[in-house]
Amino acid sequence: MAHLIENCLFCKIIKGVIPSVKLLETELSYAFLDIGPLSKGHALVIPKYHAEKTHQVPDEYLADILPQTRKLALAMGLTDYNILQNNGAIAHQEVMHVHYHLIPKPDEETGLKMHWKPISQTQEELKAFAESVSKNLK
């Protein structure tokens, strides 16, 4: 059922061509420890379907990702953590196979650090944007 390609790092990990420290595996997902962790237990949960961006992954694969991520968070006993997923190089995606980071946040200094800089929009701008999106929903 897996849709994998030959030259993808994560597809090779799923196939066992490149070693990983596996945490769990289902028919649709594979989870392993990140080799460049931001904190102890930093894991990646990936679909067994090669796609570069989330909107390209079939629903059944996406539906398996969050339950597996939740199981890992519970198994690690996490209380504070981030789930991060990037789409595209300018959005900080480095491996072009969809992947979800589970990053434990045990304290202020360890784990993911973020700088959030909101833009300014009026209620009218927000409503106009929401209407344009609603028209495109399928």
Active site residues: 99
d(CA 51, CA 100): 13
Residue 103 backbone phi and psi in degrees, to 5: -120, 105
d(CA 110, CA 38): 7
d(CA 99, CA 47): 7
Helix (H, G, I), strand (E, B) or coil at 22: strand
